[in-house]
C-alpha cells in the first residue's frame, strides 16, 4: 500500500478526506508519525491503526491539527471583539455564531466570554464543531491547563475559572453558552443563517480547490453583512470571488 492508497483507506475507515490536504506536506507528516511509532511501511501502520485504539486517536489528533489557545493572537482577537460589537449594534438581537474546527473549545469559549462582557444577559447561539469526537468531549468538560489559558486576562481568569490544583475549570455559565457538534468541513453540509463564522488556522492545510469550496460555503452560510474571522496566516486574497469585502486584516464581511 502506498500513501495514495492509504488516503483512500483513511476515507473509508475514518471518514476523513485526506485528498483535500496539501499532498507533499501531508505525506511528510504521515511519514514522520510512522517513524515516531516505529513502523517501517504503510501496511504496518494500517495494521497498527486497526488493532490499537490509542494509536488511532494519536493519528486522528495528528491529522486534525488540535493546536489552539484562548484568545489566540490577542491583538487580532481584540479587533474581532470590536467587530462583534458592530454586529450587535447592526442586528439588535442575539447572534448566531459558528466556531468551526474548534478543537478543545478554547475559541468558542473565548467568544462566549467576550459576549458575556459586552452583552451580559443575552442568550447568543454559539455552535462549535470539529470532526474529532474525542476532542469534542474534552471541550465539553471545560477543564484546562495553565498552558491552555496563558493568553487569558487575569480579570477573565478570576471571573470565569475556578483553579483546582493545576486545573482551570471553566464556569458553567460560559460552558452553557456553547453547543458542540461533530462536523467535517469537507464532507458535511453547512448550516445557514450565521452572523459570525470563526475558522482559524485550519484551512491553511488544505489545497486551493478545497479552500475555495470552503470559503464559498462559508459565504453562503452567512447572513448579509455577517463576518468571517480567519487565522493569522490565512489571508483570503480572492475574497471578492466569495462575496466578501475586507473588514480588517483577517476579518471579512459578506456583502
Tell me the per-residue pLDDT of 214-238, one tens digit each, with 9 for 90 and over.
999 999 999 999 999 998 878 898 9
Q: Is the pLDDT of residue 203 over 60?
A: yes
- Examine the domain organization and report whether 123 and 248 are in the same domain: yes
- Examine the domain organization and report whether 155 and 250 are in the same domain: yes
Q: What is the pLDDT of residue 146?
A: 87
- Examine the domain organization and report whether 54 and 89 are in the same domain: no
- Asked, for residue 146, whether it belongs to a domain, the answer is yes
For residue 215, give the DSSP letter: H
Q: What is the pLDDT of residue 155?
A: 92
Q: What is the pLDDT of residue 20?
A: 74
- Asked, for residue 122, whether it belongs to a domain, the answer is yes
Grid coordinates belonging to 199: 475558522
Q: Is the pLDDT of residue 71 over 70?
A: yes
Grid coordinates belonging to 72: 489566540
The burial class, CB within 10 Å (0-12 / 13-18 / 19+), for 103 is buried
Q: What is the pLDDT of residue 253?
A: 96
Task: Give the end-to-end CA distance of the chain in Å, rounded to a whole number.
Answer: 47
Average per-residue pLDDT in the chain?
A: 89
- Asked, for residue 26, whether it belongs to a domain, the answer is yes
Query: Band of the pLDDT at 114, cuts 50, 70, 90?
Result: very high
Q: Among residues 24, 40, 63, which one ends one of the domains?
A: 63
The CATH number for 240's domain is 3.40.50.150
- Asked, for residue 160, whether it belongs to a domain, the answer is yes
Q: Among residues 38, 63, 88, which one ends one of the domains?
A: 63
- Asked, for residue 69, whether it belongs to a domain, the answer is no
Rounded to whole angstroms, the Cα distance separating 14 from 10 reads 5
- Examine the domain organization and report whether 135 and 195 are in the same domain: yes
- Examine the domain organization and report whether 59 and 87 are in the same domain: no
CA dist 96 to 6, 39, 192, Å?
38, 46, 9
For residue 92, give the DSSP letter: -
- Asked, for residue 128, whether it belongs to a domain, the answer is yes
103: region left, alpha or beta (phi > 0 left; psi from -120 to 50 alpha) = left
Please answer whether residues 191 and 137 qualify as being in contact, where contact means their C-beta atoms are separated by less than 8 angstroms.
no
Q: Is the pLDDT of residue 113 over 90?
A: yes
pTM: 0.80
Name the least confident of 19-28, 111-120, 137-146, 165-174: 19-28
Q: Is the pLDDT higher at 160 or at 58? A: 160
- Examine the domain organization and report whether 12 and 132 are in the same domain: no
Rounded to whole angstroms, the Cα distance separating 97 from 123 reads 12
- Examine the domain organization and report whether 24 and 103 are in the same domain: no
60: region left, alpha or beta (phi > 0 left; psi from -120 to 50 alpha) = alpha
Please answer whether residues 210 and 20 qualify as being in contact, where contact means their C-beta atoms are separated by less than 8 angstroms.
yes
Rounded to whole angstroms, the Cα distance separating 88 from 97 reads 12
Q: What is the pLDDT of residue 62?
A: 73
Q: What is the pLDDT of residue 99?
A: 97
Grid coordinates belonging to 59: 493519528
Query: Which residue segment(s) compose the domain that 9 sits in?
Result: 3-63
Determine the average pLDDT of the residues in 13-25.
78
- Examine the domain organization and report whether 59 and 117 are in the same domain: no
Amino acid at each position: 500500500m502506498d500513501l495514495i492508497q492509504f488516503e483512500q483507506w483513511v476515507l473509508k475507515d475514518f471518514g476523513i478526506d485526506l485528498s483535500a490536504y496539501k499532498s507533499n506536506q501531508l505525506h511528510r507528516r504521515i511519514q514522520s508519525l510512522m517513524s515516531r511509532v516505529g513502523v517501517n511501511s504503510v501496511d504496518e501502520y494500517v495494521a497498527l491503526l486497526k488493532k490499537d485504539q490509542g494509536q488511532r486517536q494519536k493519528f486522528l489528533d495528528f491529522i486534525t491539527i488540535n493546536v489552539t489557545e484562548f484568545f489566540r493572537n490577542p491583538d487580532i482577537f481584540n479587533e474581532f471583539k470590536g467587530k462583534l460589537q458592530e454586529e450587535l449594534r447592526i442586528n439588535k438581537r442575539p447572534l448566531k455564531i459558528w466556531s468551526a474546527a474548534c478543537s478543545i473549545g478554547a475559541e468558542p469559549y473565548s467568544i462566549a466570554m467576550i459576549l458575556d462582557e459586552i452583552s451580559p444577559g443575552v442568550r447568543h447561539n454559539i455552535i462549535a464543531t470539529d470532526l474529532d469526537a474525542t476532542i469534542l468531549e474534552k471541550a465539553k468538560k471545560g477543564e484546562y491547563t495553565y498552558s491552555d489559558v496563558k493568553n487569558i486576562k487575569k480579570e477573565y481568569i478570576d471571573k470565569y475559572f475556578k483553579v483546582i490544583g493545576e486545573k482551570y475549570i471553566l464556569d458553567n455559565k460560559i460552558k452553557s453558552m456553547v453547543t458542540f457538534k461533530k462536523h467535517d468541513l469537507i464532507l458535511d453540509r453547512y448550516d445557514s443563517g450565521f452572523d459570525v463564522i470563526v475558522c482559524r488556522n485550519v484551512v491553511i492545510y488544505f489545497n486551493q480547490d478545497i479552500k475555495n469550496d470552503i470559503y464559498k460555503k462559508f459565504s453562503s452560510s452567512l447572513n448579509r453583512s455577517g463576518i468571517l474571522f480567519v487565522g493569522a496566516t490565512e489571508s483570503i486574497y480572492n475574497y471578492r470571488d466569495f462575496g466578501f469585502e475586507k473588514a480588517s486584516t483577517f476579518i471579512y464581511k459578506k456583502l
